[in-house]
Amino acid sequence: MNSPLIAFRQEGVAHLLANYLKSQSIDAKVERTSAGDEYMVVLANEDDALRARDITEAFLRNPNDPKYQQAAWEHGQQVTLTRTGSGMSIAGMMKNAMTSPMTASVLVICVVVYALSLFGLFAPIASELMMQPLSLLVQNHEWWRVIGPAFIHFSILHIVFNLLWWGMLGAQIERTLGVSMLMLVFVISAVTSNIGQSFFTDPLPGGLLPFGGLSGVVYALMGFVWWLGWLKPQWGLSIPRGIIGFMLVWLVLGYADILWVNMANAAHTVGLITGCLLAAVLSIGADKRAD
């Protein structure tokens, strides 16, 4: 009699575990759940359940262990823990981004806003989107400004850097956890990072705070994917350690004030913390629902 073992959101992860179970003489296969959004590893023999659970627990602790990929090779099927399918190439990242509605929408808005600014419309755009001190927002109720700065960029390097990371991380979250989850992370991190930066920026005449960019959100996405990859590896989110290291070093360099650009350090830091906290809350919530 078939015995369900564990369900994964990512098909490749399910096959990776199933292949390893087969290499350990446990007959297992992958079936799509009735809802269609998860992949269940199913045991052919219920007597194998106890040993299979022990193997699964070890797999969840370290799904990148080479022995799992080796088992996949031995069974004639190589699978990976990501669904991007295009590696880390810029073309691949942009292809994934443009086929993910929420990711593509934010990307297009940023590009349009930047293009309009090049045609002499930066001043009117900034006057409508830039953040203002909270004390002023309480009076004028222009609360869209707590999100608006995310769409403003000041140079080609600024927008390209942010949109590459947004395209890679945003598409991964959207494809794995859905549009609603990416939208939630975007809105919450934009609000928290912009409010955080507002306390460390002096206003211009008229009350505008001269900062902008998607980088606070990008740091939130990095923290979100990083922590969920650690807390819930079975969900299929992952980010190379080299990227994490690069982004953290970039964050430190911003505080050291040795870069050629002005960095919104508070926005980066608050964004990173926000993303990590959202991942922790989501993981804890999933565990409680499972109980």
Task: Give the domain CATH number at 38.
Answer: 3.30.70.2350
**18: pLDDT strictly greater than 60:** yes
Within a domain: residue 83?
Answer: no
65 and 94, same domain (yes or no): no
As a whole number, mean pLDDT of residues 122-137 equals 94
Residue 96: pLDDT band (50, 70, 90) is low
- Those residues whose C-beta lies under 8 Å from the C-beta of residue 167, and which sit 6 or more positions away, are 93, 94, 96, 97, 103, 107
140 and 215, same domain (yes or no): yes
Give which of 44, 47, 36 is closest to 11, Cα–Cα. 36
173 and 264, same domain (yes or no): yes
152 and 208, same domain (yes or no): yes
**Domain coverage including residue 61:** 3-74
The total of structural domains in the chain comes to 2
User: Which among 100, 193, 238, 268 is annotated as catalytic?
Assistant: 268
**84: pLDDT strictly greater than 50:** no
Q: How far apart are alpha carbons 70 and 131 in whole angstroms?
A: 52
As a whole number, mean pLDDT of residues 238-254 equals 84
CB 125 within 8 A of CB 116: yes
Sheet (strand 28-32) strand order: 3-8, 39-43, 28-32
pLDDT the model gives residue 99: 75
DSSP 210-251: ----SHHHHHHHHHHHHHHHHH-GGG-----HHHHHHHHHHH
Within a domain: residue 30?
Answer: yes
pLDDT the model gives residue 109: 96
Query: Which of 18, 47, 74 is the last residue in one of the domains?
Result: 74
Within a domain: residue 228?
Answer: yes
* Percent of the chain with pLDDT strictly greater than 70: 85
pLDDT in tens, 153-174: 988 988 998 999 999 899 889 9
pLDDT the model gives residue 31: 86
273 and 179, same domain (yes or no): yes
User: Which among 117, 193, 215, 238 is annotated as catalytic?
Assistant: 215
DSSP 1-60: --EEEEEESSHHHHHHHHHHHHHTT--EEEEE-TTSS-EEEEES-GGGHHHHHHHHHHHH
Tell me whether residue 215 is one of the annotated catalytic residues: yes
Q: How far apart are alpha carbons 56 and 129 in whole angstroms?
A: 49
pLDDT the model gives residue 195: 96
pLDDT the model gives residue 258: 63
Residue 264: pLDDT band (50, 70, 90) is confident
Q: Write b or e for each residue in 171-203: b if 16 or more Cβ atoms lie within 10 A of its Cβ, otherwise e.
A: bbbbbbbeeebbbebbebbbbbbbbbbbeebee
Residue 72: pLDDT band (50, 70, 90) is low
209 and 235, same domain (yes or no): yes
Q: Write b or e for each residue in 12-23: b if 16 or more Cβ atoms lie within 10 A of its Cβ, otherwise e.
A: bbbbbbbbbbbb
- Mean pLDDT of the chain, nearest integer: 84
122 and 197, same domain (yes or no): yes
Amino acid letter for position 225:
V
Tell me whether residue 105 is one of the annotated catalytic residues: no
239 and 189, same domain (yes or no): yes
Give which of 24, 16, 42, 38 is closest to 177, Cα–Cα. 38
Residue 87: pLDDT band (50, 70, 90) is very low
29 and 122, same domain (yes or no): no
67 and 96, same domain (yes or no): no
As a whole number, mean pLDDT of residues 222-243 equals 87
Q: For the full predicted model, state whether its pTM sits above 0.85.
A: no
pLDDT the model gives residue 88: 46
pLDDT in tens, 193-225: 999 999 999 999 889 999 999 999 999 999 999
Within a domain: residue 85?
Answer: no
